[in-house]
Structure 1
Amino acid sequence: MTIEVTHEQLDVERRTPHGRRRPWEKKYRIVLLVADGLAAVVAALVIHAVYGRWAVALVLPPVWLAAMAAHRSYDRRALGLGTEEYRRVLRGAVALPALAAVAHWTFTRDPGLFHDMTMAAVPAAALALLVRYTLRRRLHRRWARQRGGSATLLVGPSRGIVELVAVLRRGGVQELQAAGVCLSDPQNAAEIRRLGLPVLGGVDTMDDVIRALGIGTVVVLPAPEYDASVLRRISWTAAVQGVDFLLAPVLADVSAARLTVRPTNGVPLMRIQAPNLSRVSRLPKELLDRALAAVLLLLLALPMLAIALIVRLDSSGPALFRQQRVGRFGDHFTMFKFRTMRPDSEALRAELEHLNQNSDGLLFKVKEDPRITRVGSFLRRTSLDELPQLLNVIGGHMSLVGPRPSLPEEVEEYPSEVKRRLLVKPGLTGLWQVSGRSDLPWDEAVRLDLGYVDNWSMGLDLSILARTGSAVVRGTGAY
């Protein structure tokens, strides 16, 4: 397996040291620069309107742009990434008062200017974040229409590529759009073709494939055949062609926040930070969970009473359904839901085993389940049946966000690695809900739960909560 690099190609590499520019990148960066300048001007005008001083209008725009540039807000590696873009803006906003302090003590000695620059950081950051959110949504809509994305060549073994394609397609809109595959095991090409992707040869054909398809990104997956020399030559080929070279890690489902590169004697070693699930780190989550649950219960008390009355009138039986579930560290608790089935539903379960939609795992879900009542069907589609679980959140047995609460008989069948999901409290919502709920195969549901446990952060919880509303409206997998 060889990859030839000629003198002519090396000359091309010297002329294109920064890689092929993504189609949308230049316009995106220009709009950001203009928008940041306007945000600074608007923030300065707000400060002038409040305090009646003009000096900030002259100083703020260039200083704000300098702060954004210093924190690499326009770096191509962060454009369109959302969270990372926002984080860099906030760092720049925090740095603005520090820059103002330096200018105050070094040059102006004007306390009014120092005050105005500090106050202007808040509206400037708010406007900058709003612009980035809007631009990102527009960019994602373009990618969803297969416009402006990066044509991506996947290189590696068939099994790894099948898994990666599943992740890319499941993850929704994203820039990388698989255009073809170069296999290290071409004998398994049929598996790739079943995904609707063309198999374009092996590593030795990469150069021609990149030229022919206008590839913008090469993603290489680990393979036994790819030692350091092969990977180095693949990266050279990508550099010669001016395309991005991405190397997929062996360990998947690791958030970027847990990854750092630690150079040791010239070798870039990747450090993966262990999940931080200590009581201290999770204390803000506990406080937020119970506070939000209490507020929601107060706001929804009357609607919940109305739902309970409708459930009782629709069919015989109690309004609330109580069931034993397994919580953190395997502790059992009684979970509450509005009853959506007939009272004898558990007795009828054995008769419906052949209709189970999740026969590949431990979950039991049946579309158009005959045990579900008329009102129950509506409650399930809208997820209103889950509202009583707010009582479980206040009681400390559940969280607003977490893995799906499991039945005791399910947990007894869990292999040891799946029991890792019991390290955190089960949630009223979670990655499983915003990713398809009951439509997910068992293995995928487990992967999402374990990924949540390993990558937990307050930012991830807030992101899931923000996505829950649209997931409920879509009703995907709710039956």
Structure 2
Amino acid sequence: MATDLTAALAASVTVLLLFDRWFVLAALPAAWVLGLALHGAYQQHCLREGTQEFRRVLRAAGLIAVGASAAWWFVPEAGPLHDTLFALPLTVAATLLLRQARRLRMRAAWHHGRNLERAVVVGPASSAADLISLLHRNSDCGLKIVGVCLTDPAHAGRVVPDGVPSYGGVDDTAAAVRQSGCDAVIALPSPGLEADELRRLSWQLQAAGAELLLAPVLADVAAARVAVTPFAGLPLMELHAPTLSRFPRIPKELTDRAFAAAGLVLLAPLMLAVAALIRLDSPGSALFRHCRIGLRGQEFTVLKFRTMYQDAERRRAEFSALNQYGDGALFKIVDDPRITRVGAFLRHWSLDELPQLLNVVTGRMSLVGPRPLTPDETFALPEDIRRLRLLVKPGLSGLWQVSGRSELPLEERVRLDLSYVENWSTALDLRILARTPGAVIRGTGAY
């Protein structure tokens, strides 16, 4: 609220200095905070909701604009209406900017383990273990699991290795909240958590000052695709269909090609230097060409800087026993002896990916999308997963690349790619692009 008040005051003072009128300074700051409050901008967790927060701010601005227009109808003096409509865009821009700055400070604190919301998980051991693993990989989500109450306490060993204590069964949840001092309880889908049990749990948590969060049955669904629709007093969760048609993606394709072309121009000196280093380090071409499967199953040639010796493909059978994915279609070795000295450096900093900008310019790839797979990798996937994955172009960066890359198990990488396809939005692309530099600098899973 103080942040939003500061934004409104700054815009109001600007209007005062420009037009020497006090009306906006006297009325706008209070009206702005009230408008935001009416649209839920001060609810708990509102700063986590990027697109929803944007809508709340715009709706508050629209409400004030309508109010100023109504006041002008009864008091036809142009000054107040003119000043209000002039100040509103400034207020909206300042509010969004300050809120984003606060969100970034919050995420930085969460990443370093500060100001975390503490939660106890209630549900099956396997689901609890998956959730703990997910939160561990996303250290800047602001949530820390401090205990579990399981519907199957005998399987607590699946969770305990992650350093999270088990407080017993579902009936022990209230005691777990008191002992752990947590802020929330996350209930996972389970036959052992019926409606009556959840209702009693919500009453107990209300008395303890903790909130109850219900995880949906369907995982990996973006919040923008979910809406609560009441029927006969029963709140039903409505799941909107994913955006898979090409028309909404036209701006994405145009932007991809424009930014990739600009990147090629700006990075040309660096790419020439890298190519020269590769040729000096080992014999062979500086570029590596490989067949990949793209949009609607079409084959294309992906371009990367060569990071291995020329005979790497012929020597693959020698090291098959070291493949971290077993005997499947995927092939990856930690400290692969076929990688050159320059190649190891390029992989660590993801510089070997730069020639793929040419694939983006030609329309074969996007800046953000699922990982481009080889034909063997593609046809090793189940048919339904393969069909969904091929509805979009593969990307230079993506969800799995910014979530740990090769450190992730194969199932997790497939899940993240499918999650991107089903939940695609421009905001998701922007978040992935914003996380990409950090993933490159950390170098996790880059080998």
- Measure the CA separation in 2 of the matches of 1:189 and 1:477: 29
Instruction: Please name the residue that 1:289 is paired with.
Output: 256
Q: Of the candidates 322, 329, 334, which is equivalent to residue 289 of structure 2?
A: 322
- Unaligned runs of 5+ residues in structure 2 are none
Asked if 1:276 corresponds to 2:243, the answer is yes
Cα distance, 1:145–1:389 mapped onto 2, change above 3 Å: closer
Aligned residues: 446
Letter in 1 for 2:393: K
- Measure the CA separation in 2 of the matches of 1:379 and 1:274: 40
Asked if 1:149 corresponds to 2:112, the answer is no
- Measure the CA separation in 1 of the matches of 2:333 and 2:239: 40
Cα distance, 1:423–1:389 mapped onto 2, change above 3 Å: same
Instruction: Please name the residue that 1:45 is paired with.
Output: 13
Cα offset, 1:167, TM superposition: 1.5
Instruction: Please name the residue that 1:128 is paired with.
Output: 95
Instruction: Please name the residue that 1:163 is paired with.
Output: 130
Asked if 1:184 corresponds to 2:151, the answer is yes
Letter in 1 for 2:414: V
Cα distance, 1:200–1:313 mapped onto 2, change above 3 Å: same
Cα offset, 1:113, TM superposition: 3.3
* Structure 1 residues 216-235: aligned runs within 5 Å: 216-235=183-202
- Measure the CA separation in 2 of the matches of 1:103 and 1:146: 49
- Equivalent pair of 1:80/1:139 in contact (CA under 8 Å): no
Cα distance, 1:296–1:106 mapped onto 2, change above 3 Å: farther
Q: Of the candidates 84, 103, 124, which is equivalent to residue 71 of structure 2?
A: 103
Instruction: Please name the residue that 2:81 is paired with.
Output: 114
Instruction: Please name the residue that 1:68 is paired with.
Output: 36
Q: Of the candidates 378, 400, 408, which is equivalent to residue 375 of structure 2?
A: 408
- Equivalent pair of 2:110/2:139 in contact (CA under 8 Å): no
- Measure the CA separation in 2 of the matches of 1:70 and 1:231: 29
Superposition TM-score, scaled by structure 2 size: 0.93
Cα distance, 1:97–1:172 mapped onto 2, change above 3 Å: same
Letter in 1 for 2:97: L
Q: Deviations over 1:53-95 (max 9, x none)?
A: 4443333322322322222211224145455434423443454
Letter in 2 for 1:399: S
Q: Deviations over 1:415-435 (max 9, x none)?
A: 124312222110000111111
Cα offset, 1:468, TM superposition: 0.9
- Measure the CA separation in 2 of the matches of 1:257 and 1:410: 31
Instruction: Please name the residue that 2:265 is paired with.
Output: 298
Instruction: Please name the residue that 1:247 is paired with.
Output: 214
Instruction: Please name the residue that 2:361 is paired with.
Output: 394
- Measure the CA separation in 1 of the matches of 2:272 and 2:105: 41
Cα distance, 1:344–1:93 mapped onto 2, change above 3 Å: farther
Cα distance, 1:217–1:362 mapped onto 2, change above 3 Å: farther
- Measure the CA separation in 1 of the matches of 2:77 and 2:440: 53
- Equivalent pair of 1:433/1:471 in contact (CA under 8 Å): yes
* Structure 1 residues 53-92: aligned runs within 5 Å: 53-92=21-60
| 161-170 vs 371-380, which moves further | 371-380
- Measure the CA separation in 2 of the matches of 1:69 and 1:458: 27
Q: In structure 1, the residue corresponding to 2:154 is in which secondary structure?
A: helix
- Equivalent pair of 1:401/1:430 in contact (CA under 8 Å): yes
Cα offset, 1:330, TM superposition: 1.2
- Measure the CA separation in 2 of the matches of 1:94 and 1:290: 35
Q: Of the candidates 404, 410, 415, which is equivalent to residue 447 of structure 1?
A: 415
Q: Deviations over 1:415-460 (max 9, x none)?
A: 1243122221100001111111111111111111011011111110
Q: In structure 1, the residue corresponding to 2:291 is in which secondary structure?
A: strand
| 156-165 vs 230-239, which moves further | 230-239
Q: Deviations over 1:287-323 (max 9, x none)?
A: 1111211222222233323322332233221222111
- Unaligned runs of 5+ residues in structure 1 are 1-32
- Measure the CA separation in 2 of the matches of 1:427 and 1:95: 40
Superposition TM-score, scaled by structure 1 size: 0.87
Cα distance, 1:383–1:142 mapped onto 2, change above 3 Å: closer
Instruction: Please name the residue that 1:19 is paired with.
Output: none
Letter in 2 for 1:45: V
Cα offset, 1:52, TM superposition: 4.9
Letter in 2 for 1:402: G
Q: Deviations over 1:317-361 (max 9, x none)?
A: 122211100001211001111122212111111112222233386
- Equivalent pair of 2:353/2:396 in contact (CA under 8 Å): yes
- Measure the CA separation in 1 of the matches of 2:33 and 2:211: 27
Letter in 2 for 1:413: A
Q: CA RMSD in A?
A: 2.1
- Equivalent pair of 1:85/1:132 in contact (CA under 8 Å): no
Cα distance, 1:309–1:61 mapped onto 2, change above 3 Å: same
Instruction: Please name the residue that 1:421 is paired with.
Output: 389
Cα offset, 1:405, TM superposition: 0.3
- Measure the CA separation in 2 of the matches of 1:64 and 1:443: 47
- Measure the CA separation in 2 of the matches of 1:37 and 1:306: 51
Asked if 1:173 corresponds to 2:161, the answer is no
Cα distance, 1:313–1:38 mapped onto 2, change above 3 Å: same
Q: Percent identity?
A: 50
- Equivalent pair of 2:281/2:342 in contact (CA under 8 Å): yes
- Equivalent pair of 2:3/2:99 in contact (CA under 8 Å): no
Q: Deviations over 1:224-243 (max 9, x none)?
A: 22332222222232233232
Cα offset, 1:141, TM superposition: 4.0
- Measure the CA separation in 2 of the matches of 1:69 and 1:345: 62
Letter in 1 for 2:254: L
Asked if 1:380 corresponds to 2:352, the answer is no
Asked if 1:464 corresponds to 2:432, the answer is yes
- Measure the CA separation in 1 of the matches of 2:81 and 2:169: 61
